[in-house]
């Protein structure tokens, strides 16, 4: 269904709700544009004034199977009529076990233990605690540009924007390292390819100057950085990182909260790099639109005893029902292959646009996790943040919902079930919006 703007957004009803929001809701959140949702279905969003938008965002990669998917809705409705809260921390229930068995079937061999949470940040917290318990070490490594959440442990790992951390310290014992961005690599660290220099930095700077490897519990890494700008690292980097962790008995934790559940065409983005993490963190798309996360590890690593960790709402049965329905849909033959094909189609279109639009510095991604980095000029690669924000706003005004990431990246994360006709409509709006901003510079 084509987007339709019946009244210039934000319309009168939207403005009234936004004003009420300002009076009673914490304004600590950043809204990209004044979209006030009323309902959503498939790949379409509808606001309170009757405007219809095409969704290239999936609720920040949550609604991967589209909005109000009938099979997920049916599963949730059926479950809530019987039981929603089973107090899974105290009692047993069949549905969370079924969903866990299904989830484990998608994982690398040996990752066969599931701990349920309610969100991505809570999953990261669980992985932090588990890493310390298993290794009996206290330090962690994560990467500049990484985003792992806003609770204290997750925020300690996060290093995307100083605003996220300002006035909230002190944090956990985390050392940050450069993440190998093939398009942007810090001057002074460019003697060798970025993936080699990134590993050298860990071994020659961190291990020799800050903390011994024998004291590090885990390395937390996004196989593809999300909030940092949809950055795809060289394959060798993650493989060498895996080897480094194995060498020193350090756990490798893959934050797949945004990149997992077939967002990249494979169930885990890690699968593209032929690595096996020790702990996988999932959330967002896992719950099919309801709050659910999971930390998945081996029986050996997830050896903490009863009472060492738990969650009141973890494995809420409505969320578990949505999860089971979601995973059953994703299990269908050819599901991942179709996503990779759509991603390749979008990337081809965007790279053709890049040739005629100097505002586009880089196009990158895997599957339907695609970033378009805008720059002031191709030579300096100076981030064009204002232009990026203008393109995002112009897309909204033209009926397309997209979001930014990093300093000047437009992130595309459409529902995985989106058909080519809708992809073409969305890309046309995006191209028109970029040309409008390029022309006005």
For residues 174 and 439, what is the distance between their CA atoms, to the nearest angstrom? 44
Kindly state whether residue 62 falls inside one of the protein's structural domains.
no
pLDDT beyond 90 at 441: no
Instruction: Quote the percentage of the chain above a pLDDT of 90.
Output: 93
Q: Residue 190 has what pLDDT?
A: 66
Residues 196 and 78 grouped into a single domain: yes
For residues 140 and 215, what is the distance between their CA atoms, to the nearest angstrom? 9
pLDDT beyond 70 at 254: yes
Residues 234 and 94 grouped into a single domain: yes
pLDDT tens for residues 277-321?
Answer: 999 999 999 999 999 999 999 999 999 999 999 999 999 999 999
Question: Tokens in use for 27?
Answer: 């304004």
For residues 196 and 169, what is the distance between their CA atoms, to the nearest angstrom? 32
Q: By the 8 A CB rule, do 222 and 259 touch? A: yes
**Half-sphere exposure at residue 309, Cβ-oriented, CA atoms within 13 angstroms:** 20
pLDDT tens for residues 162-178?
Answer: 888 988 888 999 999 99
Kindly state whether residue 376 falls inside one of the protein's structural domains.
yes
Kindly state whether residue 5 falls inside one of the protein's structural domains.
no
Neighbours of 137 (CB within 10 A): 20
Residues 153 and 85 grouped into a single domain: yes
pLDDT tens for residues 136-147?
Answer: 999 999 999 999
The count of domains in the chain is: 2
Kindly state whether residue 102 falls inside one of the protein's structural domains.
yes
Average pLDDT of the residues of the chain? 96
**Half-sphere exposure at residue 46, Cβ-oriented, CA atoms within 13 angstroms:** 11
Q: What is the pTM of this model?
A: 0.96
pLDDT tens for residues 92-123?
Answer: 999 999 999 999 999 999 999 999 999 999 99
pLDDT tens for residues 210-220?
Answer: 999 999 999 99
Domain that holds residue 365: 12-55+334-440
Residues 253 and 207 grouped into a single domain: yes
290-325 burial by CB neighbour count: b if 16+ within 10 A, else e? bbbbbbbbbeebbeeeeeebebebbbbbbbbbbbbb
Q: By the 8 A CB rule, do 396 and 14 touch? A: no
Q: Which residues pair with 282 in a beta bridge?
A: 294
pLDDT tens for residues 331-367?
Answer: 999 999 999 999 999 999 999 999 999 999 999 999 9
């Amino acid at each position: 269904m084509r987007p339709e703007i019946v009244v210039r957004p934000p319309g009168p009803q939207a403005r009234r709700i936004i004003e009420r929001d300002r009076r009673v809701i914490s304004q600590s959140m950043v809204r990209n544009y004044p979209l006030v949702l009323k309902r959503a279905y498939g790949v379409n969003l509808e606001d309170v004034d009757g405007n219809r938008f095409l969704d290239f965002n999936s609720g920040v990669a949550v609604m991967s199977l589209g909005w109000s998917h009938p099979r997920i809705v049916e599963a949730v409705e059926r479950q809530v009529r019987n039981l929603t809260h089973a107090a899974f921390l105290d009692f047993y229930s069949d549905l969370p076990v079924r969903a866990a068995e299904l989830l484990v079937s998608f994982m690398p061999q040996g990752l066969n233990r599931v701990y349920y949470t309610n969100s991505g940040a809570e999953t990261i917290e669980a992985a932090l605690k588990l890493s310390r318990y298993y290794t009996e070490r206290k330090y962690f490594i994560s990467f500049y540009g990484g985003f792992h959440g806003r609770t204290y442990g997750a925020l300690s790992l996060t290093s995307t924007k100083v605003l996220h951390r300002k006035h909230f310290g002190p944090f956990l014992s985390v050392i940050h390292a450069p993440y190998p961005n093939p398009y942007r690599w810090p001057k002074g660290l460019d003697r060798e390819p970025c993936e080699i220099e990134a590993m050298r930095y860990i071994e020659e700077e961190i291990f020799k100057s800050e903390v011994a490897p024998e004291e590090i519990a885990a390395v937390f890494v996004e196989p593809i950085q999300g909030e940092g700008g949809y950055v795809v690292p060289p394959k060798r980097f993650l493989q060498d990182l895996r080897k480094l962790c194995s060498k020193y008995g350090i756990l490798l934790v893959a934050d797949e909260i945004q990149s997992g559940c077939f967002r990249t065409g494979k169930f885990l983005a890690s699968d593209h790099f032929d690595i096996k993490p020790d702990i996988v963190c999932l959330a967002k798309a896992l719950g099919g639109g309801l709050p659910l996360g999971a930390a998945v590890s081996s029986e050996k690593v997830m050896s903490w005893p009863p009472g060492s960790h738990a969650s009141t709402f973890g494995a809420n049965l409505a969320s578990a029902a949505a999860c089971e329905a979601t995973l059953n849909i994703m299990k269908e033959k050819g599901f991942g292959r179709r996503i990779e094909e759509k991603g390749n189609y979008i990337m081809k279109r965007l790279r053709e646009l890049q040739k005629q639009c100097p505002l586009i510095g880089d196009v990158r991604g895997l599957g339907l996790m695609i970033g378009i980095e805008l720059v002031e000029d191709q030579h300096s690669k100076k981030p064009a943040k204002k232009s990026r924000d203008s393109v995002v706003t112009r897309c909204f005004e033209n009926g397309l919902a997209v979001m930014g990431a990093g300093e000047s990246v437009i992130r595309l994360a459409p529902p995985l079930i989106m058909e080519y006709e809708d992809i073409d409509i969305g890309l046309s709006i995006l191209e028109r919006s970029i040309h409008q901003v390029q022309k006005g510079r």
